[in-house]
Amino acid sequence: MSASRQVTKAVNDVLDLAPRHGEVSLIKLVAAVSEDRARPIEIAMAELPPGVTGQWRQYGDHDVFLIQRGLPTWDRTLAHELGHLVLGHYGIPVAEAARELAEVADDGLIGYMLNQRTGCMGPSGEDAEQEAEDFAALLLYRLGRLPSDRSSIVQVRLGEAFG
Ligand SMILES: [Zn+2]
């Protein structure tokens, strides 16, 4: 795995936001990022067009990660969309005023780029897709190795630094 420095830093920054007590799950990390940005992030399962796994929509005052309903690798897709967000990429802008219209005319959003490899639908380019993939892989890898309390997280990180 050769994630860029920027991706590695983004993963560290997100893990730094992890709750201090209890198990650290991906859902909790998304909530922590949301709190840190003082901007709500909603996660919703949705019937997305065939081949689409996930989509990040930016509304006026909140963000929505849509995940294809029934997707077995939903956590990978969720981590991928979170990666786009924390790496400063752009989601699909949806003006608050046009929200209802957009929900009705969902097919219109297909006009945005669908990445054939990741199934991610959004206006970001191939480089951004790769970064989001690297972020998701590294974040899930690190999450999978995390013990369930934060003091242990610090130990893991120290271990990585000195090991
Ligand atoms: Zn993507």
How many angstroms is it from 87 CA to the middle of ligand 1? 11
Contact at 8 Å (CB) between 150 and 19? Answer: yes
- Please report whether residue 159 resides in a domain: no
How many angstroms is it from 123 CA to the middle of ligand 1? 9
The residue segments making up the domain with residue 81 are 5-149
How many angstroms is it from 83 CA to the middle of ligand 1? 8
- Please report whether residue 156 resides in a domain: no
pLDDT recorded at residue 122: 76
- Please report whether residue 115 resides in a domain: yes
5-16 and 74-86 helices, crossing angle to 10°: 100
> pLDDT tens across 37-59, in order?
999 999 999 998 888 999 999 88
In which band, very low, low, confident or very high, does the pLDDT at 102 lie, cut at 50, 70 and 90?
low
User: From CA 155, how far away is CA 145, in angstroms rounded?
Assistant: 12
Total domain count for the chain? Answer: 1
- Please report whether residue 93 resides in a domain: yes
Angle 23-154-32 from CA coordinates, rounded to 5°? 45
